[in-house]
Structure 1
Amino acid sequence: MSAPAPTPTPDFLQRADGALADRWLKTAIDRTTGTARTKRAAIVGQWPDFAVARERGKAIKDHVVENLGHYLAEFERNARANGAVVHYAETSDEACRIVVDICRKAGAKSVTRSKSMLGEEIGLPHALEDAGIERVETDLAEHIVQLAGERPSHIIWPAMHKTREQISELFRASHADPHREETAEAMAASARRHLRQRFLDADVGISGANFLIADTGSVCTVTNEGNAEMTTTPPRIHIATAGIEKLAPSAAHAAMMLRLLVRSATGAALTQYTTFHTGPKRAGDLDGPDEFHIVLVDNGRTKMLAGEEMREMLRCIRCGACMNHCPVFNQIGGHAYGGTYPGPMGAVLTPIFDGLNEKTRDLAHACTLNGRCREVCPVDIPLPTLLKGWRTASWREGLEPRTMRIGIGLWRWLATHPPLYRLAMGLGSKALHLMGGARGRISSLPLVGGAWTRHREMPAPPSGPTFLQAEAKRQREGAR
């Protein structure tokens, strides 16, 4: 008897369609991103020099990228002088192998892990599980995601796709001593009780790094829960994994970047915990790890550095503001993007990590190019321009469907014949207006497979003159 054929992996359009049909998801996204946008606007409004700081942050990151080799060597030299062991990994597989080998050498049976998108990027959770090492996620949202057997849906709020009601059910089913009241405080206390002993029993603690301080060899982590400190302090071994672009020349430069990061990420002035890890425990220290390993990961970053097209993406400080303000992300959430990084930044990064192909080309086309992501980016990454670059590359490499290429060709011909273009647009506008009926809403649109109107109604154009007609009239009247 032959094995059943594997189920095809849903593509972006299928995942997006499923997300649009999920009413719970929309509720969860609105609760989280709406609050994030409000808080960010308020805290940025209290900082008169935010625009100046933004330019300074951009300059710092560009300087580091231009001199990446110098700062990597300086960081490595100072980290080793502090007693840390520095490893380099060119690929995600190599990075995972280094971490697993350290754990095996230590005889580790369980590890605690503080939230790290770099860890997700390289597939570290799966590598630890494949090695038979128990992994305990300690960030509250990552704990929720782990219990649910899901992937993070946001780089700052990994469980933002879950509503409070869904999390309550999950905790009641998974915790030995669950909450009795369905409040945020009671559920957080339930998670704290569940995780406390696991912090103390772990053989190895694994963290990410928000910044690598070149002139001190320190690793900086920022959290609001203290779980990073509980992950890195009690175990015998601390492993920090970080992308090579995370460097800051000095603690003063890192402090500047922290002000931008926290305001953009959570709408606060400062996180509850900002910790600089500088080597293992020294003689006389009351706590801390006996060994401190730092795994510096390339995984396509030097490729980005070598090419001018995507180099500006190396500025990214992983704040998530672009997602919170993206109208597409706010409709479909993070899982629909399919990669480690969702939203506008994910649409740029996923083709870098996974290659530009039939499955990743749709990400750039999902963008409306409204520009809000660049407006809120704390280091001014031109995300819409980078996404247009992927669209150009997709067209150049022939990845666009034949129907799209034919359609674009017809539109191009029509657009180069203005009288015919105006006639076609006028007729199309009138037809859509009639389809809207008295309500002015179109609930079913032919010739597009129902995709535009399956999950929402489309507003019909008004019956009056088009924008071009109204503008022409305005100009004629102004010339009199």
Structure 2
Amino acid sequence: MSAFTDRVDTALADRNLKIAVERTAGTAEAKRTIAVEAFPDFERARDRAAAIKDHVIANLGLYLERFEANAVAAGAKVHWARTADEACEIVIGICKAANARSVARSKSMLGEEIGLPHALEAAGITRIETDLAEHIIQLADERPSHIIWPAMHKTREQVSVLFKAKHRDPHQEETIAAMAESARRHLREGMLAADVGISGANFLVADSGAVCTVTNEGNAELSLVPPRVHIVTAGIEKIVPSMGHAVHMLRMLSRSATGAALSQYTTFYTGPRRPGDRDGPEEMHIVLVDNGRTMMRETGLAKMLRCIRCGACMNHCVVFRQIGGHAYGATYPGPMGAVLTPAFDGLAKNRDLPNACTLNGKCQEVCPVRIPLPTLLRGWREKSWREGLEPTSLRAGLGTWAWFARRPALYRAATASTLRAMRLMGRGGWLSKLPLAGAWTEHRDMPKPAAQSFMAQYKKGRRS
């Protein structure tokens, strides 16, 4: 995989990507605003959501044991995985025990995190992605670029070309409805014939052992109920104490993710089929995955475990909206990914991600569980500096800036000279090229600066 800066350059030069991201993220931002304005006491609801998550994280062992006991009592089998590899081994083992030749998979970022699609392929098991966006990226042989809309990076025009090339009975009309119908025809047979259904979990309810999934297409229900075996893979932080707590979190999740009061399909699964049930799997397996979460709780990243994977932080992120998700080079993009990826895969390999942030704080403003994302990102930056991971050029540049900053008169003189030079280089109010700022001006113009610095204007205003 190319370096982060190379991926960013590629993304910034891709005009179709900017159109696709802005269509979806811009719509999501607008819908969230409307949904929040219509929600009385939304800020108090955020406080409660954060408190629920903090309580569970502080008492994680208690609620995990309670969930396991109730899930087993309902007939499910619970498995524990410390790492991504262990989780995949457990899932593949269950599939092989069931003599599964195909699996229908409902969208799960935890599945992406642990590398489950690749594990299934390596085991020779046919994987049917039942979520429409996941189906699109499976056909394109790509990774998700967003946790809610995995195919956000593709325009509808690109999807049309893909479906016509890959579907047996493709659409004839260039409409979204016709393309969705084409996908439905292509997927339905495989979904209903699958031996195993695999899902993630939006929430795990401790007092009942229930698993909650949230979708807008009904694909989870159709792909998890008919198969003989249902496998759930879930991070251990997905626990909530009771159904009442789950309902509160669902209210926060839907509004923050899509701007809807409630997702189209919200389903709770409690154990396999029981005597008298008309449908349901014969077996239900729940794989609880740690994969670094316990370490996060113990090393200053506990607040990140509040995350309910709504995607609001990336929808409002000025960086994400310019470069999309693939530029981050990881399962989780955007602000949340910039915090999670160094925790999962190491800071040395991912030091660029915490720096891909303006620290404007918009992500924290919209987070439904009040994760202090800018603070956590600054923490990674400080750790990177302490461990000497920053490049020599950056350390030298900051050292030069600090030298000037400790000499106010010289700093003001240098600032004034720089402003004059930048204004002379400007054309029509913009700077298309700027020495030492080529990475900025290569893909965008910089506004021509004011004649005086902010501090000079501030002092002048106070005198007047």
- Aligned Cα root-mean-square deviation (Å): 0.7
Partner of residue 5, structure 1: none
Alpha-carbon distance, 1:462 to partner: 2.2
* Alpha-carbon distance, 1:48 to partner: 2.0
Q: Distance in 2 between the 1:466 and 1:118 partners? A: 48
Aligned mates of 2:192, 2:333 — CA distance in 1: 33
Structure 2 counterpart SS, 1:212: strand
Match of 1:458 in 2: 446
**2:307 alignment partner AA:** C
Matched, 1:368 2:358: yes
3-state DSSP class of the match of 2:250? helix
**Aligned-partner Cα distance in 1 for 2:50–2:118:** 34
Is 1:84 the counterpart of 2:76? The answer is: yes
- Cα deviation, 1:419-456, whole Å, max 9, x if unaligned, reads 0010111111111111113x1211111234x2111111
Counterpart for residue 434 of structure 2: 445
Look up the match of 2:158. Answer: 166
Match of residue 386 from structure 2: 396
SS where residue 451 of structure 1 aligns?
helix
Q: Does 1:236 align with 2:224?
A: no
TM-superposed deviation, 1:403: 1.1
Q: What SS does the corresponding residue of 1:220 show, helix, strand or coil? A: strand
Q: Distance in 2 between matches of 1:453 and 1:466?
A: 21
Structure 1: which 5+ residue stretches go unaligned?
A: 1-8
Matched, 1:102 2:90: no
* Structure 1 counterpart of 2:318, from 327, 331, 340: 327
**TM-score under structure 2 normalisation?**
0.99
Report the alpha carbon displacement of residue 60 of structure 1 after superposing the two structures with TM. 0.3
Q: 66, 71, 75: which one pairs with 2:63?
A: 71
Unaligned runs of 5+ in 2: none
**Which of the residues 455, 458, 462 maps onto 1:471?**
458
Code of the residue aligned with 2:442 in structure 1: it is R
Matched residue, 1:422: 412
Alignment length (residue pairs) = 464
Superposed counterparts of 1:170-209, under 5 Å: 170-209=162-201
| Alignment equivalent of 1:352, drawn from 343, 355, 359 | 343
Aligned partners of 2:420 and 2:405: how far apart in 1?
19
Letter in 1 for 2:462: Q
Rounded to whole Å, the distance in 2 between the matches of 1:134 and 1:319 is 29
Q: Secondary structure at the match of 2:341?
A: helix
Letter aligned with residue 38 of structure 1? A
Asked if 1:135 corresponds to 2:153, the answer is no
1:266 aligns with 2:258: yes
* Structure 1 stretches of at least 4 aligned residues deviating more than 6 Å after TM superposition: none
Counterpart selection for 1:378 from 365, 368, 380: 368
CA-CA distance at 1:401 after TM superposition: 0.7
Q: Which residue pairs with 1:51 in the alignment?
A: 43
Between the aligned partners of 2:65 and 2:129, the Cα distance in structure 1 is 32
Letter in 2 for 1:475: R
Q: Name the SS of the counterpart of 1:292 in structure 2.
A: strand
Residue 123 of structure 1: aligned partner: 115
2:18 partner letter? K
Pairing 1:407–2:397 present: yes
**Structure 1 position 287, deviation (Å):** 0.6
Mapped partners of 2:422, 2:139: distance in 1 = 48
The match for 1:343 is 334
Partner of 2:211: 219
TM-score scaled to structure 1, two decimals? 0.96
How much does 1:151 deviate? 0.3
Structure 2 match to 1:431: 421
**What is the letter of the counterpart of residue 434 of structure 2?**
L
Report the Cα distance in structure 2 between the residues aligned to 1:197 and 1:403, rounded to whole angstroms: 57
1:300 aligns with 2:292: yes
**Which residue identity lines up with residue 345 of structure 1 in the other structure?**
M
The alpha carbon displacement at 1:126 in A equals 0.2
Distance 1:333 1:403 in 2: 27
User: Residue type matched to 2:443 in 1?
Assistant: H
| Alpha-carbon distance in 2 for matches of 1:419, 1:345 | 40
Whole-angstrom CA distance in 2 between matches of 1:112 and 1:36? 28
